Structure 1
C-alpha cells in the first residue's frame, strides 16, 4: 500500500521547471508510505513519477518503486495489492519469465509485458490505483481497481496533467490553481460526500472505478480541461454490466447450495487477504459483516487473529461488549479501547487534513481512532465493509422489500399514500398512531423526522428520486448553487431492491464508505483490506435471488447463514447499530461553542457559498430540540472546518474560490 504521484507535461512546457515538483508532491503523501520514497523521470518526454512505500509484500529493496519492467519498456508507480500474484507469477515462470524479487508489483509488470495492461488487470484480483509509462510509445496509462477501493485524482493544469493518490499532493504542484466548485459544494451538503464524478476543486477529477485513461503529451493540446480528459477513460470492468448480467441469469434458489457457494467464496476471499509479510489484524465491531470475516480468518489461521474494537462512553453508541463476546467465542487476541467523548472530539480539528475534500460521514471519527489503535500492532487490517452493499444490509434495502407493492404502484396511488404518511408526521398523538395498528417499525418512524422523509420517498416521481431521498442528509437547499442529479449511466434493473443496491455500489460505496476507510487507515500508515468486496463476491451477489438477501424482514439473510456456521445466533442477531458517534447531542453540549462560531451568520454571508439564513434556522431548530438537523449541520461544519484549513495554509491560494455563485 502506497501513495503515488505523477506529472505529464504538454509538448511545449518547459522541460526542467515543473518536473522538480514531483519531490514536494510525493512528500505530501508520506503518511501513505513511511518506509521509503522513490522517483523516476524522463525530462525529454516530460514525465515524472513519485512513490511513497508502505512495505507489505517483499520488504526488501527489490520491491521499491517506481519500478521498471524486465525489458525496460514499462515504468510503474503502483498503490495497492494484487492478491493472486503468486499464482500469476507461477504462470509466468512456467513460460520462462525470471523475477528479481518477490513483490506483486513486479508480477504485474510481467503481466503487462506479456498480455498488455487491460488483460493484466482483468487477470488480477486486487485493489489498486496505478500509472504505467510506455517508454516505446510514450503513452501514460492510468488505471483504477474494479470497485474504487484506491483513490486516483487527476488534474489538468495549463501546462501538464498531474495525478496523485490525494488532493494534498496535487495542491503542491506550482501550476495548479485551487478554485472551489460551487456545484460540488451543493452536492456535498445534500449527501455528506462528493460523488465520483465531482471534485471540490475545478479542474480535477477522480478516475472512475474499473477504468483506464491513456494519454499522450500531444493529447493534452486537444483535451484542455479535466472534463474532456475524463470522457476518454474506458472501462476494463463494469459494475453496470455485472449487475445486468447477474439479474439476467439468477442462481437457482436452493438455500443449501447458496450457503455452500457463499461460504467457499468468502473463505477464498478472506484467505487471499491474509497474505502479507507484516502483521495482519481485523476491525471487529461485533456486527454481521466483521464477525463473518473474523470467523473465516480464525478458521484458517494457526494462531489467534488480532482483533480491534473501539468504544465510547455513551452506551447507545458502544459496541465493545458485542465485539468482545464474538472474540471470546472465536478465540481471537482481542484489543479494545474505550475513549471518552472528549478524546473522540479531540480529533475533529484533524479531519479536514485527513480527508482533503469536505467529508461528513460522522463515523469518520471512530474509523480514524480504530485505525490508530490497530496500527500499534499491525500493518494490515481486514474490514467488513461491503457486506451491506453485496447482501442488502441497509434499512433502505429492507424498506424496498417491505414497501415494494406500494413503491411499484402508479404515481397517483403513491402520491395519495405519501400524503397519508405525511399526516402522521405532523404531530399526531402517539395514542392515535398506535390505534391505527401500524407495524412497529413504522410506529418508531413517527417519533422522528424520518416519517417526513419516508413520505417524500413514497411520493417521488421515479426510482432515482426515491433513492436520493432515502440517502440525502436533508431536502433543504443550504447553498446558493444547485446540486446535480443522479447519473444517467446507472442501469435500469428488474426490481426496486436491485435498483437501490446498484446505486449504492456505484455511488455511496466508492464515494463515502471506501473514502472513509482509505483516508482514515492510510493517515495512520495502515493498509485496510475488504474481502467482502472481492470482485468474485460482488459478481456472485448479483446472481442471487432477492430472497437470499432480504427475508423475514431482515437484510443479509445469506450472510447470516454463513456466519451461523461459526457463531450462535444470539451473538449476532440484534438490531443494526452502525458505527456512529452522538453528533446531535454533542452539538447541543460540548461542541456548541465551536459550532456557533463556524455557523455565525456574518461568516456565512461573507463566504457567498451558503444560504446563511437557512443554515441559521436549522441551527436554532436543532438547539431548541424541535428538529434533529445533526447530519446536515455536521456537513456544514465539516465544510467550514475545511475552509478554515485552507485559509490557515499559506500555500493554498483562495483567489476566486469563494466568489458569489453566478
Structure 2
C-alpha cells in the first residue's frame, strides 16, 4: 500500500520548481508509504508523478516507484495490490516479456504494454489506484479498483493545473490551491456522515468513482476536458445477478461460497511481510480469521479492541473465537482518554469532513496491529453483500407502511408535515404522543412527525432508502439553502420489487466506498498498515449478486448463508448474539469527557464568525442533547468533525 500524487501544468516552470512541488506533494503522504519515496518529472509537458512506498512485495529497490515500463513508453505511480500478479507474470513471460524484480507494479506495466489499459485492468484481481503517464501519446490515465477500496482524487487548482492524489492533503501543497468549500457536498455530509462520490469538500476536486478510468490529454488540460469510462460496474453485476439468480441447493450454495471466500483469503495472504487479521468476534471477521487459520499450520495473528462500556464491548466475543481457532490473539481496551488524544488528529487523517465515529476504534486497532504486522485482513463487505444490517428489515417495514397510502395522498401529507415547524407539530401532535412512544419513536413528537413527512415523499424504494438512512436535520438544514440526499440513491430504479437487493446495491455504491472503505483506508494507512478485504473480491461480489433473498435472510436471520459457512469452522453458540457494530459511546462522551472540547467548537460566537452553519440550529441540537431529552450524537458528531476540519484546514 502506498501514496501517489501528481500533476499536469501548462505553466512554464523551471525543472527545479517542478521537482520541489512534486516532492512536497509526496512528503504529505509519507504516512502511507514510510519505506521509500520517489518523483519523476518531464519538464517540457509539465508533468510530474510522485510516490511514497509501503514495501509489502519485493522489498528490494527493484520495486521503487515511479517505475518506467521496459519499452520506456509508460511511467506509473501505483497504490494497492494485484493479487494475481504471479499468474499474469507467467502469462506475460510466455509472450516474451522479461522481468527484473518481483513486484506487481512491474507486471501492471507489462500488462498495459501487451494488452492496453482497458483489457489489462479487466484482468487484475485486487485493490488499486494508479496514475499512468503515456509518454508517446501524452495522456494521463487514472484508474481505481472495482469496489473503490483504494482512494483516488483529481481536479483543478485555481491556476488551471490538474492535480491527482491518494489524499487531499497532497493537493493543498500546490502553490495557490485556493479551492472554495463545496456547500452542496457539505449538506450531503450532514445527511450521511460522509461526502458521497464524486463530490469532495472542495468545489473543483472530485473522487474518481469505483471501477473507473479517467483519461486526460495534455492538450485538454486548459479546457478541463477529461474522459471518464467505467470498466466494471457493481450496478450491472448486481442487476445481472437478479436476472440470473442462483438455482442450486442450499448445500451447493454454501460449498460454492466457502470455496470462493477461501480462495479470496488465500490470495490475500501473499506478502513478504507479516500478515494478521482484525477480529471482532462477529460473523464476517470470524469467518475471515477462520479461513486464514485453515490455510496455515501456524497461529494467525488476530487483533481486537474493547470498551469499559459493556454495550460496546466485543472483546470477550473475539477472545472466545480466537481461542477456538487457536490464533495468536492481542486485544486493547479503549478509554475516553485514548479517544481524546486521537480526536485532534482526525481532521488531518481524513482531511475532508468524515463523521463515522467508529473511525476512533478503527484508528486505535490499526495502531496496535501495526506494532505486530504490516498487513491485516478485514471482514468488510459482508453486511452489504449478504444483507447483514439491522436497518434493512427496519427500512422495509417502514416502506410497506408508507406504500399503503396512495402516492398523491402520501406526497400531500409529506408536504404539509414538512412545511410546519417541529414546535408547531409538537402542539398539533400532542394526542399522538402516547402512540408514538409505544411504537418506540425517538425524540419529541414534533421532530418525529417532521421526520415522517420526509419519509412520506419519495415514490421509489431507492429514494426512500436514502431518506430513511440519513440524518434528520433541523428544518432548513444546517447549511443555509442546501439540503438533500445523495442522487446515487436514484440508481436503484426498477428494483422496487426486489428491495433486499436494492438496499445492498445502494450500500455497495454509496455507504461501502464512501464510509466503510474510506474509514479503514485512512485509519490503517495513518500507521503504515495495509488492510485487505477478501470478502470484496469481485468474484465473490458476482456470486453474492445472484443469491436469492431467501439464502441471505431466512426466518428473520440475516446473513443466513454466510453463517452456514462460518458454522463449519466456529460453533454457533460462539457467534449467535445481537449485532453490536464497531461504534463508540459518543453520546455519553459528549456529555462528560468530551464536553469542553465540543463546547469550544460549537461556541455561538465562533459559529457566527465562520458564517457557514446555521448557528441557532446547531446550538438547539447541542442544548437538547446535553439536557438528555434527545440523543443527537450522530448529527452532532458530524457538526463537530466539520468544525474541527474547518479549524485545521481553513
TM-score bucket of the superposed structures, by smaller chain = over 0.9
What is aligned with 2:93? 93
User: 1:60/1:424 Cα in 2 relative to 1: closer, same or farther (>3 Å)?
Assistant: farther
Of residues 635, 639, 662, the one that matches 2:638 is 635
Q: Aligned-pair distance for 1:93?
A: 1.5
Q: Deviations over 1:408-448 (max 9, x none)?
A: 544368689999xx979953179x93xxxxxxxxx556699
Distance, in Å, in 2 between the alignment partners of 1:220 and 1:597 is 43
Q: Aligned-pair distance for 1:314?
A: 1.2
Q: Deviations over 1:211-244 (max 9, x none)?
A: 1111111111222xxxx54xx2111111121122
Of residues 282, 287, 293, the one that matches 2:288 is 293
**Partner SS for 2:558:** coil
Distance, in Å, in 1 between the alignment partners of 2:36 and 2:513 is 28
Distance, in Å, in 2 between the alignment partners of 1:267 and 1:254 is 20
What is aligned with 2:235? 240
Is 1:564 matched with 2:567?
Answer: yes
User: 1:352/1:425 Cα in 2 relative to 1: closer, same or farther (>3 Å)?
Assistant: farther
Q: Aligned-pair distance for 1:579?
A: 0.6
Aligned 8 A contact 2:84 2:124 in 1: yes
Of residues 407, 413, 419, the one that matches 1:411 is 407
Aligned 8 A contact 2:153 2:205 in 1: yes
**Partner SS for 2:214:** strand
Distance, in Å, in 2 between the alignment partners of 1:605 and 1:337 is 41
Aligned 8 A contact 1:457 1:467 in 2: no
Is 1:161 matched with 2:156?
Answer: no
User: 1:335/1:610 Cα in 2 relative to 1: closer, same or farther (>3 Å)?
Assistant: same
Distance, in Å, in 1 between the alignment partners of 2:165 and 2:38 is 14
Distance, in Å, in 2 between the alignment partners of 1:635 and 1:25 is 28
What is aligned with 2:263? 268
Distance, in Å, in 1 between the alignment partners of 2:623 and 2:114 is 64
Aligned 8 A contact 1:457 1:465 in 2: no
Distance, in Å, in 2 between the alignment partners of 1:577 and 1:447 is 22
Deviates more, 1:65-74 or 1:548-557: 548-557
What is aligned with 2:131? 131
User: 1:416/1:187 Cα in 2 relative to 1: closer, same or farther (>3 Å)?
Assistant: closer
Aligned 8 A contact 1:246 1:543 in 2: yes
Aligned 8 A contact 1:159 1:175 in 2: no
Q: Aligned-pair distance for 1:192?
A: 1.0
Q: Aligned-pair distance for 1:315?
A: 1.4
Is 1:4 matched with 2:7?
Answer: no
In the TM superposition, 1:383-394 aligns within 5 A as 383-394=378-389
What is aligned with 1:525? 528
**Partner SS for 1:626:** coil
Aligned 8 A contact 1:199 1:206 in 2: yes
Distance, in Å, in 2 between the alignment partners of 1:583 and 1:425 is 33
User: 1:456/1:294 Cα in 2 relative to 1: closer, same or farther (>3 Å)?
Assistant: farther
User: 1:115/1:366 Cα in 2 relative to 1: closer, same or farther (>3 Å)?
Assistant: same
Is 1:318 matched with 2:313?
Answer: yes
User: 1:107/1:424 Cα in 2 relative to 1: closer, same or farther (>3 Å)?
Assistant: farther
Deviates more, 1:168-177 or 1:516-525: 168-177
In the TM superposition, 1:15-94 aligns within 5 A as 16=15, 17-94=17-94
Distance, in Å, in 2 between the alignment partners of 1:83 and 1:306 is 21
**Partner SS for 2:3:** strand
| Alignment length (residue pairs) | 628
Distance, in Å, in 2 between the alignment partners of 1:164 and 1:45 is 19
**Partner SS for 1:346:** helix
Q: Aligned-pair distance for 1:166?
A: 0.6
Distance, in Å, in 1 between the alignment partners of 2:132 and 2:36 is 20
Is 1:258 matched with 2:253?
Answer: yes
Q: Aligned-pair distance for 1:176?
A: 1.5
What is aligned with 1:190? 191
User: 1:118/1:25 Cα in 2 relative to 1: closer, same or farther (>3 Å)?
Assistant: same
Distance, in Å, in 1 between the alignment partners of 2:82 and 2:131 is 15
What is aligned with 1:360? 355
Distance, in Å, in 1 between the alignment partners of 2:450 and 2:376 is 36
Q: Deviations over 1:297-320 (max 9, x none)?
A: 111112111000011111111110
Q: Which residues of structure 2 form unaligned runs of 5+?
A: 418-427
Aligned 8 A contact 2:413 2:453 in 1: no
Distance, in Å, in 2 between the alignment partners of 1:171 and 1:553 is 49
TM value normalised by structure 2: 0.92
Aligned 8 A contact 2:18 2:43 in 1: no
Q: Which residues of structure 1 form unaligned runs of 5+?
A: 434-442, 647-653, 655-662
Distance, in Å, in 2 between the alignment partners of 1:491 and 1:19 is 46
User: 1:601/1:59 Cα in 2 relative to 1: closer, same or farther (>3 Å)?
Assistant: same
Q: Aligned-pair distance for 1:453?
A: 8.8
Aligned 8 A contact 1:457 1:466 in 2: no
User: 1:451/1:320 Cα in 2 relative to 1: closer, same or farther (>3 Å)?
Assistant: farther
Q: Aligned-pair distance for 1:29?
A: 0.5
**Partner SS for 1:22:** helix
Aligned 8 A contact 1:453 1:469 in 2: no
Is 1:398 matched with 2:404?
Answer: no
Q: Aligned-pair distance for 1:324?
A: 0.1
Q: Aligned-pair distance for 1:186?
A: 1.4
Q: Aligned-pair distance for 1:90?
A: 1.2
User: 1:299/1:447 Cα in 2 relative to 1: closer, same or farther (>3 Å)?
Assistant: farther
Aligned 8 A contact 1:41 1:48 in 2: yes
What is aligned with 2:423? none
Q: Aligned-pair distance for 1:464?
A: 3.7
What is aligned with 2:366? 371
Distance, in Å, in 1 between the alignment partners of 2:517 and 2:248 is 31
TM value normalised by structure 1: 0.90
Distance, in Å, in 1 between the alignment partners of 2:115 and 2:535 is 28
Distance, in Å, in 2 between the alignment partners of 1:561 and 1:623 is 44
**Partner SS for 1:639:** helix
What is aligned with 1:471? 469
Aligned 8 A contact 1:34 1:54 in 2: yes
Aligned 8 A contact 1:184 1:200 in 2: yes
User: 1:401/1:70 Cα in 2 relative to 1: closer, same or farther (>3 Å)?
Assistant: same
Aligned 8 A contact 1:548 1:557 in 2: yes
Distance, in Å, in 2 between the alignment partners of 1:159 and 1:575 is 53
Q: Aligned-pair distance for 1:538?
A: 1.0
Q: Aligned-pair distance for 1:153?
A: 1.1
Aligned 8 A contact 1:21 1:173 in 2: yes
Distance, in Å, in 2 between the alignment partners of 1:363 and 1:181 is 25
User: 1:116/1:627 Cα in 2 relative to 1: closer, same or farther (>3 Å)?
Assistant: same
Distance, in Å, in 2 between the alignment partners of 1:533 and 1:577 is 22
What is aligned with 1:609? 612
Of residues 461, 464, 481, the one that matches 2:458 is 461
Aligned 8 A contact 2:4 2:51 in 1: yes
Aligned 8 A contact 1:464 1:486 in 2: no
